[in-house]
Structure 1
Amino acid sequence: MRKIIHIDMDCFFAAVEMRENPELKDIPIAVGGRADRRGVIATCNYPARKYGVRSAMATSYALKLCPVLKIVPGNMDLYKSISRQIRQIFNRYTELIEPLSLDEAYLDVTDSKLYCGSATLIANAIRRDIFNETGLTASAGVAPNKFLAKIASEENKPNGIYVVSPDRIKDFVACMALQKLHGVGKATLEKLHALNLYTTEDIRNADPQFLFEKFGRFAEGLIRRSHGQDDRPVETQRIRKSIGVEHTYAKDLTEYTQGAEKLADLYKELGNRFSCISEQYKVVKLGVKLKFNDFNQTTMETTCQLQSFEVFSRLLQQVWQERARGRKVRLLGLSYMLEPIQDAYRPEQLSLNFA
């Protein structure tokens, strides 16, 4: 049985800003874009969260919830530098590290001899090192698998630790809300609720054949997670599956022709990004994403192994005609779905930098 630690920094970007400027410590702050430029919140501190402010929320809406909210533009170079520092701390305890973003990672300490092999003591040592060397706090979840460790890390935030030992798995997942399960997004959750499935207990009590009829292969994951099972190893290497660019516009786009005018700049930016990895990956699909002024979004993809402006143009026209339905568009994005070129691909261990 594995010993997995999930380390999650507490409101990382905001915490760094409060460290750099102590005057921000006790007031609601958020790192994000300006409201007059259609900005979005990247993260916020805990005083801001008491007002209902959350990441991925429009800055304008966040300011309605919390009029005294201070918006900080952020310093990505500083965040990356501190993230590398945290990664160096992880390396003292294990080489089996799977970064998820700048501020969180899985660590497999199954075979560690440190602290007599106690994953709990190792997790606390890591949290202590992070605080002593960066002045920032981290929360940790300790469990026999990644699924449980990630959920556990949320249990005692901020600056806490939660341990799910093997003998406590059954109680921990006894009646867990399904939105906590790995892979359950908004659309899947709505489908589950429509079938009167709300908790892991509901899944365990359901007829497996019924679940497979409704959810196909995904049902297997639902059933396993509802029993607290997860066989996924900590992955120290990652294959990129897609690359994309997107832009939120200061004024909504009301007509397809306006979107078409923006396409060339996005296509050029995407090409520049792809050129950095073109020797390792090939394009297998193209995708166009629209986010509307009601904040719903849609994506349309097509199989294509070429970098093609013409295909993007046709996709944009099709998705706009079929799905906009008179709604204004606030964001436009383009993406390539990728596959590795087997002879050229040489996986490297991830850093905690943005990919």
Structure 2
Amino acid sequence: MSRAPRSAAARRDWGSTEDGCTILHVDMDAFFASVELARRPQLRGLPVIVGGAQRGVVLAATYEARAFGVHSAMPMAAALRLCPQAVVVPPEHARYREVSEGVMEVLRSVTSLVEQVSVDEAFLDVSGALRRLGRPTEIAARIRQEVRDRYQITCSVGIASTKFVAKLASSHAKPDGVLLVPRSATTDFLRSLPVGALWGVGERTETALARWGIRTVAELADMDVTTVQRAVGKVAGAHLHDLAWGRDPRPVSPGRVEKSAGAEVTFSSDVSDLSVVEAKVRELADTCASRLRRNGWVGRTIAIKVRTADFRTLSRSRTLDSPTDVGREVYLAARELLAAVDLGGLPVRLIGVRVEGLSPTAESVRQPTLDEAAGDALEARREAERAMDGVRARFGRQAITAGPVVAGLRDDRSTTTFSPTDLS
């Protein structure tokens, strides 16, 4: 669920005219928590938090827990201070993926124009389904009922003439509701919102706009575009000014390319021994690469995230000359990035590895000839890791693990080169 600013005025009935409102944004309500409640109906009505133990973070929380100020990405310790009576449930990611895939199948039964933007939300263009299934509000009702019947979870739907407004509408429809914003009411709807509701307005941008007296979408829309550009930059200023007037020409794109594959872990206690951190980096790199191979992607940029004991978060990345889906390649690049991070003498609380700049494997990796394969260590390693994927798929992830990379050996180096980029 989005934590973007909302407005009570924006929740009012904007009328029933549906002409031109063929974009739907479907967003699952408290998705991870809802899936857990479907598995454990005895917890319904209780404040439930999905996440790791005391040192983990909140992945999701029921609305009963959110009433106490608990939200996703919050440290679990802080969440339990706010809501000590909460029931903490460990995450079951395999089940979340299964339900997500099922929900997306429901959406694709309505239209082929489905753009999945995360595990629990998607845009639909239903213009081609109106004659078959009825008005957009009827289609929204059908989707919500089918998702509820199949998975015992709820979703909220925003309906509008553009993606941006549809997404805002779904956030105001939560939980378990539908909000239609007719094309003719788009400007009035937007003017009722705080400026932080606009896509691209984070904390820094909101502060920059406030210096120019811009705190609402209405104030931004009424401001001369050159003034907005002076506040936040030429490109961003023009984009935000367009959004404030409801201008968003982007179509629903079913072929959206995944942006990244990542994994991270919070240690049960702060770790000062970097060899322990490196071992976890190897495990996370292997997880990322396995996910890439499973989905048919290779990635060009390797990034790490390190959180120290004082909750300072550092990010670094490097771009490879050649894209990869090999866990060892990901690990070696990530390990070098970790070695370059100044931890200030502090132990590590969290470590994460991410592969970005994804492209389809078929378009990026040339299949070698037999002669080439005989001397191609990288391709041999890729095949070995694919074999490990098969073992894990049959016997579980813990059935086999990648061996350690021993310092000083001839192959203790990356087979690709890269140029550094600092993401901090």
Alignment of 1:98-117 (within 5 A): 98-114=115-131, 117=134
Match of 1:273 in 2: 288
Superposed CA deviations along residues 89-147 of structure 1, whole A, max 9, x for unmatched, are: 21221111112223221111022234675111111121122223333222110011111
Residue by residue, what CA displacement relative to the aligned partner does 1:41-93 show, whole Å, maximum 9, x if unpaired?
11111111111111111111111111110011133333333323322321221
Q: Contact 1:6–1:149 (CA<8 Å) still a contact in 2? A: yes
Contact 1:282–1:339 (Cα < 8 Å) also in 2: yes
Q: How does 1:197-276 map to 2 (within 5 A)?
A: 197-213=214-230, 214-253=232-271, 258-259=273-274, 261-267=276-282, 269-271=284-286, 273-274=288-289
Report if aligned partners of 2:288, 2:355 keep a CA contact under 8 Å in 1: no
Q: Which runs of 5+ in 1 are unaligned?
A: 347-355
Shift of 1:310: 6.1
1:305 matched residue in structure 2? 321
CA deviations 1:194-236 (Å, max 9, x no partner) are: 4443221232233322333432322222111111221121121
Asked whether 1:340 is paired with 2:362, we answer no
Report the Cα distance in structure 1 between the residues aligned to 2:127 and 2:281, rounded to whole angstroms.
Answer: 45
Aligned counterpart, 1:26: 45
Q: 1:337 to 1:79 in 2, by over 3 A?
A: closer
Q: What's the offset of the Cα at 1:13?
A: 2.1
Letter in 1 for 2:92: N
Q: Distance in 1 between matches of 2:56 and 2:226?
A: 45
Q: State how far apart, in whole Å, the 2-side matches of 1:259 and 1:301 are.
A: 19
In structure 2, the residue matched to 1:291 is: 307
Q: TM-score, normalised by structure 1?
A: 0.83
Cα distance change, pair 341–111 in 1 and its aligned pair in 2 (3 A): closer
What residue identity is the alignment partner of 1:31?
Answer: V
d(CA) in 1 for partners of 2:87 and 2:61? Answer: 10
Distance 1:328 1:171, change over 3 A: farther
Identity across matched positions, percent:
30
Structure 2 partner of 1:192: 209
Q: Indicate if the aligned counterparts of 2:159 and 2:170 stay in contact, CA closer than 8 A.
A: yes
What is aligned with 2:337? 315
After superposition, residues 153-168 of structure 1 pair within 5 angstroms as 153-168=170-185
Query: Which residue pairs with 2:26 in the alignment?
Result: 7
Could you tell me how far apart the structure 2 residues matched to 1:341 and 1:83 are? 22
Q: The residue matched to 1:173 in structure 2 has which SS? A: helix
CA offset digits 1:5-43 (Å, max 9, x no partner): 1111222222222233222112111111111xx121111
CA apart distance, 1:290: 2.1
CA deviation profile, 1:165-184 (whole Å, cap 9, x unmatched): 10110110114222222222
Alignment of 1:330 onto 2:345: no
- What amino acid does structure 2 have at the position aligned with 1:80? R
| Equivalent position SS for 1:63 | helix
- 1:349 maps to which residue? none
Q: Within the alignment, does 1:126 sit opposite 2:143 as a pair?
A: yes
- Match of 1:43, SS state, is strand
Residue 280 of structure 1, CA deviation: 6.3
Corresponding residue SS for 2:45 = coil
1:138 matches 2:155? yes
Q: Deviations over 1:236-279 (max 9, x none)?
A: 1222333333221222245xxx3465224414542563366479
Mapped partners of 2:319, 2:118: distance in 1 = 29
Report the structure number with the largest CA radius of gyration: 2
Matching residue's letter, 2:251: P
Q: C-alpha distance in 2, partners of 1:276/1:79?
A: 15
CA–CA separation in structure 2 for the residues paired with 1:268 and 1:39: 18
Cα distance in 1 between the residues matched to 2:183 and 2:116: 24
Given residue 247 of structure 1, which amino acid in structure 2 is its aligned partner? Answer: V
> Is 1:72 aligned to 2:94, yes or no?
no
CA gap 1:85/1:211 in 2 versus in 1, 3 angstroms: same
Which of 62, 74, 83 lines up with 2:79 in the alignment?
62
Cα pair distance change 1:122/1:301, threshold 3 Å: same
- Give 2:277's aligned amino acid: K
Unmatched 5+ stretches in structure 2? 1-19, 323-328, 366-424
Deviations 1:300-346 (A, max 9, x none): 234442647665445334432xxx55665421223333253696269
